[in-house]
A and B are shown apart, each in its own frame.
Chain A
Amino acid sequence: MNTPQKVPVTILTGFLGSGKTTLLNRILSEEHGKRIAVIENEYGEVGIDQALVIDAEEEIFEMSNGCICCTVRGDLIRVLSNLMKRRDKFDYVLVETTGLADPGPVAQTFFMDEDISSEYALDGIVTLVDAFHIDQQLGRSDESTEQIAFADVVVLNKTDLASGEGLDEIETRIREMNRMTKIVRAENADVPVDTVLNLSAFNLDQALERRPTFLEPEYPFEWTGVYLVEPGNYKIQFDEGPDPSMSLVITTDQGSDDSDLRDNAEKCVRYYAEDGKSILPDETIPMNTHVELNLASGGSKSFDIIIDKPMQIGLYAQHTAEEFNIQLIKSGKDAVVSAVVERTWVAQHEHDDEVGSIAIEKDGDVDQEKLNKWLSKVLGEKGIDIFRMKGFLSISGDSRRFVFQGVHMLFDAKPDRSWDDMPRRNQLVFIGRNLDEDEMRKGFEECLV
């Protein structure tokens, strides 16, 4: 989304003691070869090493490593305007926010004022997290939660003070709040400077390369296998596994394309919402019904399926086939039927924090007017609680894919590239607090043509 001539901007945030000052000091003193203009907040504790200052004018310090440092007193917009007078001296801007601040208003600065938005482009938000204290901080303040929710990159710092298992738990908790963020571990904020620059955070294609399922919604099932079957009897066989029971829906006339799988996934979400019918080993599983298979007995066990016509069936299962060594076998012939296609899904799990992510994915085109009205309504009513949003949109009548990203009530959308042969797929992610997923999903679906 950044045009070549705009200066990319990173916002650096993090709770008190997370290591921001350490990182900024490194940026202003080390020979990393980058020309960065650092804007520190008015309470900044970055101690400028006078031995490294080669010039100082209007409170803008030029450092011997090619970086610039200045302090915000008053408005960030004024500082940014002043910096543009020295445009030839830097290639990046890094803005430090205070440890207690919601980074939203700082991020929004780059969407406001036509001069600023023509010169600078928000590249991303980096949040430093103190791995040792984050648990307490998340329970105690909204600001630390919001700083994680806003982040495109979370630097999990001071990892030397926390255990490996503890760090894994922290990462899981961070991901539950913000499914899009990249997490980088560090001790003493010793991340490469490139970690906080050129994030291309709003380049969703790169984000998809990193985490292909991050834009997917969460489902109550983890795996689907599609099988070609003939009329007759089959058995689904299970070895012992991690659960004494497993939920399952078997769909009929199942297609093999990814869009077919996702269409039936949506149907299965509704089936799963109903109570599962309990099925014992050697009993018959009904089709297109949520069942709860009893797997409590030891050893292998199987369940019957009766097929009345040639077709493909889909098994939408709570666990992966691997966990139970699930096999479909033609009765009588004892022949194992191989899956035509298999797919895993992002599984739902408990959210302890109020902050979370909603992902909406729908093929098809949206009506531009309906979409704008819906966005206007959502942002007007819930803008305060929506911290970030990003996505791709397919607009009816437009051959180009639109990429959009926003912070609270302000957002920006631009055509990205032509759809060409790519499936015209809308993918939206909202990160926020107390968002009603069903309502958001329904509201978006009403915008489809």
Chain B
Amino acid sequence: MFIGSSKPKTDLNKVRKIKEALGETLSIQNNATITVTELTCLEEGCPPVETVVALLKVGSDPLQHKIHKPAAEFKAADLTEIAIRWGYPVKPDLFEQFDKEK
């Protein structure tokens, strides 16, 4: 989001896969929305791009979690971390299929 040409183009296919994987695996209802936003991080020690994944439910405060990598580099372990932060009970291999899909 900041000035300059250093932020690489977002992998939109991966963004959609992240949303599908989280939505289906966690049985998130149709009246909730998952957002994936890539931001440039200027804090020292941070990688240049971080991704915020948020769950917006009607009548509740948004739940969000930040992963310090672009969406294109997400793995199953990142989705597991997000689900835990959102308060969902998860097993370690819950998102195993995500790493297998191209």
| Distance in angstroms between the alpha carbons of A111 and B39 in the assembled complex | 10
Q: Does A183 contact B (CB under 8 A)?
A: no
User: Which segment of A72-80, A194-202, A206-214, A351-359 sits at the interface?
Assistant: A72-80
Query: Are B58 and A368 in contact, CB atoms less than 8 angstroms apart?
Result: no
Query: Are A78 and B33 in contact, CB atoms less than 8 angstroms apart?
Result: yes
Q: Does A339 contact B (CB under 8 A)?
A: no
Q: Does B36 contact A (CB under 8 A)?
A: yes
Query: Are A77 and B3 in contact, CB atoms less than 8 angstroms apart?
Result: no
The residues in B between 53 and 90 inclusive whose CB is less than 8 angstroms from any CB of A are 56, 58, 71
Among A73, A78, A114, A393, which residue has the most Cβ atoms of chain B within 10 A? A114
Q: Does B27 contact A (CB under 8 A)?
A: no
Main secondary structure of the interface of B (DSSP, over half): mixed
Encoded as 1 (CB less than 8 Å from any B CB) or 0, chain A from 373 to 414 comes to 101100000000000000001010010001010000011110
Residues of B close to A404: CB separation below 8 A: 3
Q: Does A118 contact B (CB under 8 A)?
A: yes
Residues of A close to B12: CB separation below 8 A: 114-115, 118
| Distance in angstroms between the alpha carbons of A72 and B30 in the assembled complex | 14
Contact of B58 among A74, A81, A112 (CB under 8 A): A74
Q: Does B31 contact A (CB under 8 A)?
A: yes
Q: Does B94 contact A (CB under 8 A)?
A: no
| Distance in angstroms between the alpha carbons of A78 and B42 in the assembled complex | 30
Residues of A close to B71: CB separation below 8 A: 114
Encoded as 1 (CB less than 8 Å from any B CB) or 0, chain A from 75 to 113 comes to 101100100000000000000000000000000000111
Query: Are B1 and A412 in contact, CB atoms less than 8 angstroms apart?
Result: yes
Query: Are B35 and A413 in contact, CB atoms less than 8 angstroms apart?
Result: no
Least distance between B32 CB and chain A CB atoms (Å)? 8
Query: Are A118 and B33 in contact, CB atoms less than 8 angstroms apart?
Result: no
Query: Are A77 and B35 in contact, CB atoms less than 8 angstroms apart?
Result: yes
Query: Are A373 and B42 in contact, CB atoms less than 8 angstroms apart?
Result: yes
Contact of A75 among B3, B10, B19, B56 (CB under 8 A): B56
Q: Does A372 contact B (CB under 8 A)?
A: yes
Known: A114-B10, A114-B36, A114-B37. 6 other contacts (CB 8 A): A78-B33, A112-B37, A114-B15, A375-B3, A376-B42, A413-B3
List of 8 A-B pairs having minimum Cβ-Cβ separation, nearest first? A113-B35, A74-B58, A372-B2, A78-B33, A413-B3, A114-B15, A114-B10, A75-B33
A-B contact pairs, 14 of them (CB 8 A): A73-B58, A78-B56, A81-B33, A112-B35, A115-B16, A116-B35, A368-B4, A372-B4, A376-B2, A393-B3, A395-B4, A410-B1, A413-B4, A415-B5
